[in-house]
A and B are shown apart, each in its own frame.
Chain A
Amino acid sequence: MNMSNPMIESTEIPEINYESVKRKQRIRTFAKGMLFLLPSLLLFGVFLFYPLFKTLYLSFFLTNARGETTVFVGLQNYLGMFASPIFHQSMKSTFLFVLYTVPTTIIIALFLAVLANEKLKGIGFFRTIFTSTMGISVAAASVFWLYLFHPSIGFINGILEMIGMESIGWLTDPKWALIAVAVTTIWMNLGFTFLVLLGGLQSIDSYLYESADIDGASYFYKLRRITIPMLSPTLFFVITVTIINAFQTFGQIDILTQGGPQNTTNLIVYSIYREAFTNYQFGTASAQAIVLFVIILIMTIIQFKLGERKVHYQ
């Protein structure tokens, strides 16, 4: 492409087939892009897509105790599941659990983050404390709460007795078990949620607040008109992650209640685990797993659709 000889170039122009050149370039860039994607595609393929399809496949079969398929039953696993009162209970508990944990976690974390974002003396100490639950494993946290909830020597019942109330069987009373597990979960998730929200708050330009100060905006006016809208991408991320986490809760159930009492804390993932590894019903377990997958998928799609309208990306 040099301009040194315009005569020759002008006669040559009609002979170049732009379309085919462009197509070749497109194929080239596509191949290059694929090359870059290959490592993650491989990882996703082995650890995500293959298990997903395997699960889907299993959900149409009965299996033996080793998980090998025996009889093709079509949709029978699904029909049986939807008819089962235990599954209904499990779904109800799961949705209640999400309802208890997600809004509470986010509101408390947001409150703490707004506090910790103030420029006060010694605020670093509080930031560390608020974040600290992030560094505690599910198992350690669960054991810790197991003792707090202990019916006779537990700290919480100790307090209740001290103020003259009856002690509660936190993990054995069907009325309270789900709430107790929810409290544990909120406490465990708080660190991460707090940290992400604090990061979001700190990335808001301080000029915006100074400008609002000069305009005479009150604290809550600034919170409502600046902080929350500017934080909305972060909030959106945190809500999505917390919901998915809540649906997938397993560790604390296994340690605190094993799904009891009367299946009130038998959340869906725990139910899948029991179906597969206690009852050796890999077929029904897979069917439940697929249902969980679909629920999370739908929730996420709804969120993104709503989010698009409400979230202000910079």
Chain B
Amino acid sequence: MGYIELMDISKSYNKQSDVLNGIDLQIEKGEFFVLVGPSGSGKSTLLRMIAGLEDISGGTLKINGNIVNHLPPKDRNLSMVFQNYALYPHLTVEQNILFGLNAKKIDKATQKKRLLETAEMMGLSDLLKRKPRELSGGQRQRVALARAVVSDAPLCLMDEPLSNLDAKLRANMRIEIRRLQKKLGLTMIYVTHDQVEAMTMGDRIMVLNDGIIQQVGEPIALYNKPSNLFVATFIGSPKMNLGKAKLKESNLVIEDVFTIPFNHEQILAKFQNRQLVVGIRAEHIPHGAEKDGVQTVEIVNVEQLGNETLISFEVGSKLWTAKWLGQWLVGVGDRVPVQISVENMCFFDEDTGNLIQAATSSLKREVVAI
């Protein structure tokens, strides 16, 4: 039994079509759980239902073993950080942090003690007398975090808390939030639409699209074994290269361009007479040596990242990207050999979009890791 249990939760606004549908989920105590999905997928709605700010249209929500569907936010013992921080503009940082404790009529000495501890931890000690408008974005963010921390609630909800910050600060805050969560042993539900944030922060990730759970799992599992095409393209940057494929005799033909020998007898049967989509990660398309499956392609774009080089080329109607380690002095229009091997490919059913077979190489790596 998890700390938070969602059982067949659904949500519709104004009795219209469902924004969320059949959400079944368990979140463990002390877990950093990330909700990720494109805009409008229902992430905020789900989070607000857990917080009690939004009615639950159907299903059961349990926190710590108790059904809380009917409880107002204050009785759910949680804290929340909003996307725009929701700081009170007319109160100082100190008053902002203490707002909740004051509302709960906690005695002054305890307030003082917790304030000092929290301010110390969040590096806000020198800013306590300032108003929010006199703070930088990152400092405001920290005040918002401090408000959540000072409440001592075991569950913390965050709705895209980093989306207003610039890239560098965001990277810092990611680490800070993660450290804070571990240190305080918080259970965290964290909403983001940024898959990098999801991958780097989450113990587990849930991918949501159109109000339906696509996949729940650890970051690496989602990366290696995306359960459908949506997850495959959503997780990972650059996104997974996809192409339609068909088995012809013992060859795999991708987008009518690549023909790759296919000699995995044991899985051959699964693929017969099916429309397939193959997916292959950019880092699994190395520069071709003289082995099987080497294809020659024409480069249409090169991105030099310093430590690696991204090379784009056309495969039929699709644009694929390969990621090569190091700096490669190649230019647009050059023809280069690339290696595309079957063991790095994920296979999806074209009609349903569901995974049929994950890349066999990733299965091997997992064995190595253990």
Listed in ascending order, the chain A residues whose CB lies under 8 Å from chain B are 205, 207-208, 210-218, 221, 225-226, 229-230, 232, 312, 314
Q: A214-B80, A225-B91 are in contact. List 7 more A-B contacts (CB 8 A).
A: A211-B147, A214-B51, A214-B73, A215-B74, A215-B103, A216-B75, A216-B104
Contacts of B51 in A (CB 8 A): 214
Say whether B80 contacts A211, CB under 8 Å.
yes
Q: Which residues of chain B in 29-58 are interfacial with respect to chain A, using CB atoms and an 8 Å cutoff?
A: 51-53
A312 to B92 alpha-carbon distance, docked (Å): 12
Chain B 56-88 interface residues, beta-carbon cutoff 8 Å to A: 72-75, 78-80, 82, 84, 86, 88
Measured between beta carbons, the chain A residues less than 8 angstroms from B52 are 213-214
10 contacts between A and B (CB under 8 A): A208-B88, A210-B53, A210-B80, A211-B80, A212-B103, A213-B73, A214-B53, A215-B104, A216-B104, A232-B90
Residues of B within 8 A of A211 (CB): 80, 82, 86, 147
Contact in complex: A210, B74 (CB < 8 Å): no
CA of A183 to CA of B146 in the docked complex: distance in angstroms? 50
Asked if A205 meets B86 with Cβ closer than 8 Å, knowing A213-B73, A214-B78, A214-B80, the reply is: yes
B271 touches A (CB below 8 Å): no
Q: Which residues of B contact A229 (CB under 8 A)?
A: 90-91
Check A312 against B104 for contact (C-beta < 8 Å): no
Q: How many A-B residue pairs have CB under 8 A?
A: 67
B70 to chain A, nearest CB (A): 15
Q: Assess the A210–B103 pair: CB atoms within 8 A.
A: no
Q: Residue A226 contacts which of B84, B88, B102 (CB distance < 8 angstroms)?
A: B88
Tell me the nearest residue of chain B to A214, going by C-beta.
B73
A214 touches B74 (CB 8 A): yes
Inter-chain contacts of A230 with B (CB < 8 A): 89-90
- Of B72, B86, B104, the contact of A207 (CB 8 Å cutoff): B86
> Are A215 and B84 touching (Cβ within 8 A)?
no
Candidate in A211, A213, A214, A216 with the most chain B CB atoms within 10 angstroms: A214
Minimum C-beta distance from B363 to chain A (A): 44
- The answer to whether the Cβ of B118 comes within 8 Å of any Cβ in the partner chain is no
Contact B90–A217 (Cβ < 8 Å): no
CA distance A216 to B133 in the complex (A): 25
A213 partner, pick from B72, B84, B102, beta carbons under 8 A:
B72
Checking B75, B89, B99, B133 against A215 with a beta-carbon cut-off of 8 angstroms, the contacting residue is B99
Q: How far is the CA of A312 from the CA of B78 in the complex (A)?
A: 30
Do A314 and B89 touch (CB < 8 A)?
yes
A-chain residues with CB within 8 Å of residue B73 when the two chains form the complex: 210, 213-214, 216
Q: Which residues in B have their C-beta under 8 angstroms from that of A207?
A: 82, 84, 86
Q: Considering the complex, give the chain A residue whose CB is closest to the CB of B85.
A: A207
A217 B89 Cβ-Cβ under 8 A = no
Whether the Cβ atoms of B86 and A216 lie closer than 8 Å is no
By a CB distance below 8 angstroms, the chain B residues around A208 are 86, 88
Check B100 for interface membership: any CB of A closer than 8 A: yes
Contact bitstring B247-261, A, C-beta under 8 A = 1, else 0? 000000000000000
**Neighbouring A residues of B99 by C-beta, 8 Å:** 212, 215, 217, 225
Q: Which residues of A contact B89 (CB under 8 A)?
A: 230, 312, 314
Interface residues as binary, B225-258 with A (CB distance below 8 Å gives 1, 0 otherwise): 0000000000000000000000000000000000
CA separation between A225 and B51, bound complex, in Å? 22
Task: Report yes or no: B103 in contact with A221, Cβ–Cβ below 8 A.
Answer: yes
When distances are taken between beta carbons in the complex, the residues of chain B under 8 Å from A226 are 88
Cα distance, A217 to B99, chains bound together (Å): 9
With both chains docked as a complex, state the minimum distance between the C-beta of B71 and any C-beta of chain A, in angstroms. Answer: 12
- Chain B, residue nearest A217 (CB): B103
Closest chain B CB from A23 CB (angstroms): 35
A139 to chain B, nearest CB (A): 42
For the complex, what is the distance from the CA of A210 to the CA of B89, rounded to whole Å?
Answer: 15
Bound-state CA distance A52–B102 (Å) is 53
Residue of A with least CB distance to B144: A211
CB-based contact A218/B88 at 8 Å: no
How far apart are the CA atoms of A232 and B84 in the complex, in Å? 22
Assembled-state Cα–Cα distance A230/B99 (Å): 15
The residues of A that contact B151 with a CB separation of less than 8 Å are 215
Contact A216/B80 with A208-B86, A211-B86, A229-B90 known, Cβ cut-off 8 Å? no
Q: State in angstroms the CA–CA spacing of A232 and B51 once bound together.
A: 30
